[in-house]
Structure 1
Amino acid sequence: MKKVFQNAFILPLIAITALALVIYKIKSAPPAQHEVLQFPVKTVEVITLKKLPFRSRAMAYGNVEPAVLVKAKTEVSGKISYIHPALKKGASLAKGTVVIRIEPTAFEFSLDQSEAGLAGSQSSLEQLEVEESSTRRSLEIAKKNLHTGTKELNRLLSVWEKRLIARSTVDAEEQKVLLLQQQVEDLQGRLASYTSRKSVSQAQIKQSKTQLAQSQDTLGRTEIRLPFDARIGEVLVEKGEYTPVGSVLFEALGTQAIEINAQLSVRQFYPMLMGFGDQRLNLQNPQDMQSAFAKIKMQASVSLVGYEGISTKWQGELLRISESIDPVRDTIGLVVAVNNPYTGVIPGKRPPLLKGMYAAVEFFSPARGMLVIPRKAIHQGRVYVAKENASGTNYQLEIRPLNILHKQGQLVVVSDGVKEGEKIIITDVTPVINGLPLKLVMASEYEKQMAKEAAGEEAISPNHINGNKVNDSDNLVSPPELIEGVVQ
């Protein structure tokens, strides 16, 4: 019994002592060491976002056509009596060269008749003027005779009143005076008729001059002269051939300028007008149309397509925009002119711009300040921004959505989502987590390349940044769409 009592007392004492020992060990032990876990710092290349002078570019294609193309037609009928020896397809002839003559004999006869008719009308007028002058002098004499006769009649009447002469003498004198009055009236009537007779002669002279001018003009139309320096196209007549009025003789192509109706995708035409403003235009008003062209100030550079080893460019000028859209290709025509396409020709290196050549026209809009980032920096419509943390000592990743205005080559123009002065990450980041700590490497050389491409000076290689190859999987569009200006 005593032994049982002792065991009941000892066992709890041992348990209490062990518990006290454990508690003592726990409280007297040093605190546990905690290890702080975080994402490793990611090294990335960044650029500082700024407004760059950006020029929209687009490529269009079309065939070369002469700015002036004349299809010479006959204005008089007849037999071809002369053709210039050099009037052949492809020949070049100077302005004013007589290239074709039509037999002029019949027209020369008509000219002689017109000259004779004019001479007869002028002679008739001169004769009338001589007769008028003679009649006027006769009238003056008749008036003097009448005046003298009237005085003599008055004298005889005064003598007859005194009964110093016979009445028959007075009557005879009165008869003479009446005859003189009739003569004066006849001369006055004849003199008055000369005005209308001369008007008739003058009208005949005018008609004869008109007929003469027509004959001279018709005779001049028998001789075909080049109105400008030209290259000859098709020649459709031969010497000795009879040609009716309106027949086509040959084609003459002007050498002073050419035109290209370059077809540009409508999708790529609209970005060329970025920054044009919201001004409303009335295109029915020619002044508004000219004002719109003056404001666009679009530059054009022309080059040939399919000519290996030839990289020559010509400066073009936008003349007008097509009045309609091609419904099949969804393109709009931009008519570009190139002046003096035949100057500075170097055989094998710089050809002239000939009719029918297929040309590429690269359009450049005026430079405007835009927020520009590279395509490489965009990932499914979002951009990675290196943002300073709260303490301002380190940077961390922030993901932003973007509003994209325009994509061109390796550049993208944005309107909002980022601000000028922020640092944009241009390399891939893995993993992509907001708040990821970053170490920044400034891609200054790439910024310079971006500025040059934005200004249209050179293009950036799509697969390299600062000499390091980067992933191309995050582009917004498929590779065929990277080439701006290609007409599908």
Structure 2
Amino acid sequence: MPSFLLRLIRVAVVLLLAAGVALWLFFSREKPQKKEMAHTPPTVLCVPAVSGSSDMTVEAFGTVIPRNSVKLAMEIAGRIDYIHPDFREGARINKGEILLRIDQRTLVLDEKRARVQVDQSRADIRLLKQETLNLKADAGLAHSNLKLTSKELERFRALAKNQFASKTSLDKVEQQYLSAKNQLQKITNAQELVPSRMALKKSALASAQAALATARLMLEKSEIKADFYGFVMTKQVQVGEYVNPGQVLGVIYEKDALDVDIRIPLEELQWLGSAFEDGGRPPVRLTIANLEGGRSPVWPGHVVRIKAAVDEKTRTMPMTVEIGTLDVKDPLLLLRPGIFVKCRVKGEQKEDVFKVSRTLMRSPDTLYLARADHLVIKKVKVIRRFEEDVYITGGLAPGDLIVESPLPGALDGMPITVKKGGDNP
């Protein structure tokens, strides 16, 4: 028992000491000082609103097509005996070069034969003209001879009447007269036939000339020449191959003569309306659509034609853009048929328009403005959203400060601090 009481007393002493220390620490503590928290308005970055004229650009996509492409085909049948060395897919061709030719040996012989017939017909006409001159001279002699024999006949008839000439002599003179008259008649008949004979000779010449022209035309059709500077799109023939009329042997298209058909949504046509007034041709900037980061060259162009009907499936207005020329050294970046391009059509110009970034909009039609160090939540009139820009025509004034800093829990009229250029945040 004495040991138990001793331990109990020890525990009680320790507890009393601990309680005493705790009370001393509680009453000897320092009281904290109260500080008033100062309310600091949030600091915001602002950009000034600037109005001006803006071009309403419309974006569309399309595929490049050749403006002038030709399917090559022979008009006559034959065996191909010549193909230009550059007549292969992707190669450049020059105007006037012979691209394809069929065997011309038979055609050359036909042309020579027709030329000989023309020469022969012309010789026949010259011969007939000379014969006409000869007949004219013969007719003069025949007239003189007839005149002399007529006088001789009259003289012999007078002599025979007075019995100074025999019947035999008179008959002989009459026979000479009839012979001279017959000769004159033959010459006259021949002269009467000259116009008909000349017409026949000229008809023969015309026929020979037509045959010669046909032979030369067939000779010309035996080869195909390039009518323009361009490129070979396809080649479908080899040397020695027999071809028929109308058979497609290849396709070529003209250099620097490319178009692109685009389709403009009907709701975007409102931005192009005045651009077509008085025969206007809106300018277009074209880039290769699948080249990102500005690596594509920019080609100039113009809208040259609006199609006659709206596309019923897509409800878009088809237009044709004529692509201008651009000197591009890299052959991989040349515009070629089939390339998918992006077209930016310059539309009408709007005046007194504010163009702001989409990131500044707090809602589809709301901006945060800074006025007299207070926040103003402003409704604005948005007429268009295009790419990363928003076009505003109402609710803003030039010089208004548009807040671009984030403001969670923003309230209209709340105080703010506008950060100026060069200030530290």
- Give the TM-score taking structure 2 as reference length: 0.71
C-alpha deviation, 1:139, in angstroms: 0.6
Q: Which moved more, 1:56-65 or 1:169-178?
A: 169-178
Per-residue CA deviations over 1:300-329 (Å, capped at 9, x if unaligned) read 101011124513201112221222222222
Structure 1: gaps of 5 or more residues: 1-42, 278-290, 387-396, 446-466, 468-488
1:251 is matched with 251
SS, match of residue 87 in structure 2:
coil
SS, match of residue 245 in structure 1:
coil
2:150 and 2:164 mapped to 1: Cα distance?
A: 18
Per-residue CA deviations over 1:47-68 (Å, capped at 9, x if unaligned) read 7896x43322101111112222
Aligned pair count reads: 373
2:234 and 2:224 mapped to 1: Cα distance?
A: 16
C-alpha deviation, 1:378, in angstroms: 10
Q: Is the 8 A contact 1:377 1:425 kept in 2?
A: no
1:246 and 1:119 mapped to 2: Cα distance?
A: 34
Report the RMSD for the aligned CA atoms in angstroms.
4.4
1:164 and 1:366 mapped to 2: Cα distance?
A: 124
Q: Is the 8 A contact 2:48 2:402 kept in 1?
A: yes
Flag the 1:371–1:340 CA change in 2: closer, same or farther, 3 A.
closer
1:53 and 1:152 mapped to 2: Cα distance?
A: 117
After TM superposition, the structure 1 = structure 2 runs for residues 281-320 of structure 1, keeping only pairs within 5 Å, are: 292=279, 295=280, 297-309=281-293, 310-320=295-305
Q: Is the 8 A contact 1:384 1:424 kept in 2?
A: no
Amino acid at match of 2:345: F
Amino acid at match of 1:412: Y
SS, match of residue 145 in structure 1:
helix
2:298 and 2:217 mapped to 1: Cα distance?
A: 45
SS, match of residue 307 in structure 2:
strand
1:115 is matched with 115
1:380 and 1:84 mapped to 2: Cα distance?
A: 63
Q: Is the 8 A contact 2:102 2:223 kept in 1?
A: yes
Flag the 1:304–1:413 CA change in 2: closer, same or farther, 3 A.
same
C-alpha deviation, 1:431, in angstroms: 6.2
C-alpha deviation, 1:110, in angstroms: 2.0
Amino acid at match of 1:206: A
After TM superposition, the structure 1 = structure 2 runs for residues 186-265 of structure 1, keeping only pairs within 5 Å, are: 186-265=186-265
SS, match of residue 100 in structure 2:
strand
Structure 1 residue corresponding to 2:344, chosen from 362, 365, 376: 362
Per-residue CA deviations over 1:272-322 (Å, capped at 9, x if unaligned) read 114766xxxxxxxxxxxxx53xx3x31110101112451320111222122
Structure 2 residue corresponding to 1:327, chosen from 289, 312, 323: 312
Q: Is the 8 A contact 1:118 1:212 kept in 2?
A: yes
1:49 and 1:147 mapped to 2: Cα distance?
A: 118
Amino acid at match of 1:311: S
C-alpha deviation, 1:123, in angstroms: 2.6
Flag the 1:174–1:425 CA change in 2: closer, same or farther, 3 A.
farther
Q: What percentage of residue pairs aligned between the two structures are identical?
A: 20
After TM superposition, the structure 1 = structure 2 runs for residues 81-230 of structure 1, keeping only pairs within 5 Å, are: 81-153=81-153, 163=162, 165-166=164-165, 168=167, 173=173, 176-230=176-230
Q: Is the 8 A contact 2:92 2:230 kept in 1?
A: yes
Q: Greater Rg, structure 1 or structure 2?
A: 2
Q: Is the 8 A contact 2:56 2:347 kept in 1?
A: yes
C-alpha deviation, 1:162, in angstroms: 8.9
Q: Is the 8 A contact 1:407 1:413 kept in 2?
A: no
Q: Is the 8 A contact 1:80 1:101 kept in 2?
A: yes
Q: Is the 8 A contact 2:286 2:344 kept in 1?
A: yes
SS, match of residue 75 in structure 2:
coil
C-alpha deviation, 1:268, in angstroms: 1.0
1:338 and 1:259 mapped to 2: Cα distance?
A: 6
SS, match of residue 200 in structure 2:
helix
Structure 1 residue corresponding to 2:329, chosen from 310, 323, 345: 345
Q: Is the 8 A contact 2:273 2:348 kept in 1?
A: no
1:422 and 1:368 mapped to 2: Cα distance?
A: 16
2:182 and 2:383 mapped to 1: Cα distance?
A: 104
Per-residue CA deviations over 1:139-181 (Å, capped at 9, x if unaligned) read 1111122233344455566x55994745856676555444433
Q: Is the 8 A contact 1:235 1:250 kept in 2?
A: yes
Structure 2: gaps of 5 or more residues: 1-43, 371-375
2:22 is matched with none
Amino acid at match of 1:328: K
Amino acid at match of 2:94: A
Amino acid at match of 2:391: V
2:78 is matched with 78
